[in-house]
Structures are given as structure tokens and as C-alpha cells.
Structure 1
Amino acid sequence: MLLDIYSFILFSWLILSWLIGFNIVNRYNQVVYSIITALNKIVSPPLNFIKKYVPSFYEVDIAPFLLLILIHFVKYTIYYYAK
């Protein structure tokens, strides 16, 4: 359950950062700024750890996708052995 919540938070951060990057959402809006700041505090530590070991490919950061894969791998491993 906690891994699902964290996956949702990571996915929300990813979508919001894309919307900010494509200039669809204004990051100087106070609500958007507070949301992205809170999401960054939650998501940044594991992403920074992954970014130390995995380089970006052609300016595309694959760390969030690797983190999602890792979360789902851990979730299904726990589910498999908890049966």
C-alpha cells in the first residue's frame, strides 16, 4: 500500500514537472509552487541516489522510470513471498 502511494506521488511529480517544462503550468503560481516543492522533498532523495549511478541519455532523465520499475519490483517481490 505504501509503495502504491509513493508510485502515485512519483507519477504526479513526473507529470507536473513535464507540464512545467512545456510551460503549460506556471511554476510561479503559489499553489503550483507549494505542490512541486512538497513533491520534490518526497521524491528527490531516491532520485538523486539513482542519478549518481545512472547517467541521462540524450538529455532525457531516466531515473524516475527506473525508480518506478524498482518500486514495482519490490512490491511484487513482497507480494510473492508474503503468500
Structure 2
Amino acid sequence: MAPLINFVFFILGSLLELLKWAVIISAIISWLVAFDVINLRNQAVYSISRFLDAVTRPLLAPLRRVIPPLGGVDITPIVLILIIVGVQSFLLDPLHRTMLNILG
């Protein structure tokens, strides 16, 4: 039973890590587009941007309704990253240890 529990928590941790990187890369791409360093007319950039937006928008939208932009700067990606790191550190790891202790 322990290998299955380890595998499930590995997958959950990996998905949260990928989500964290998707938020970071999406924010960087949005800055590069805003400062006209890269252009969305490039098909590859457009595809990557749309994919990352589709992944991160459902998680950022509720935060954007609660947290207003500060001085025109959207801080919701930072808040989402802090939430993801908090879930990884304070929920996922202790839950993993607890599950291993209970189910052995």
C-alpha cells in the first residue's frame, strides 16, 4: 500500500510544481508581450500563451475578483504561487506522512 500512496503523492506534488511553473512562465510572457519584446503574432508564442492562459486563468480569476491591482500591477500570480507552495509544504507533506502512518 505504501508504494501506491507514495506514487499518488508524487503525482500530486509534481502537478502542483508544474502549475507553479505555468504561473511563473505565464506572468513572464505577459510582461514580455506588454513591453513589446515578443509579439503574439508569432504562432509559437501565441500558442504557448493561450495554453498557459487556459491553465492558469481558472485559478487566477477568483483571486482577481478579491485582490485588486496595486498601482496597476496584478499581484494575483504571486498570491497563487504562495498558495501553491503553502499547499505543498503545509498540507501535502503532512498528509503524505499521515497516510503512510495510518495505512502503513
Normalised-by-shorter TM-score class:
over 0.9
State the number of aligned residues: 83
Counterpart pick for 1:72 among 85, 88, 93 = 85
Instruction: Give the TM-score of the pair, scaled to structure 1.
Output: 0.94
Shift in Å, 1:49: 0.6
Bigger relative contact order, structure 1 or 2 (CA pairs below 8 A, ≥6 apart): 2
1:19 maps onto 2:12 in alignment: no
Residue 59 of structure 2: aligned partner = 46
Specify the code of the residue in structure 2 equivalent to 1:2.
L
- The two structures, once aligned, show a CA RMSD in angstroms of 0.9
Is the partner of 1:24 in helix, strand or coil?
Answer: coil
- Where does the alignment leave 5 or more consecutive residues of structure 2 unmatched? 1-13, 98-104
Residue 37 of structure 1: aligned partner = 50
Runs of 4+ off more than 4 Å: none
Counterpart pick for 1:10 among 17, 20, 23 = 23
Specify the code of the residue in structure 1 equivalent to 2:30.
S
Q: Between 63-72 and 25-34, report the one with greater CA deviation.
A: 25-34
Instruction: Give the TM-score of the pair, scaled to structure 2.
Output: 0.76
1:82 maps onto 2:83 in alignment: no
Residue 71 of structure 2: aligned partner = 58
Shift in Å, 1:41: 0.5
Shift in Å, 1:43: 0.5
Query: Larger radius of gyration, structure 1 or 2?
Result: 2
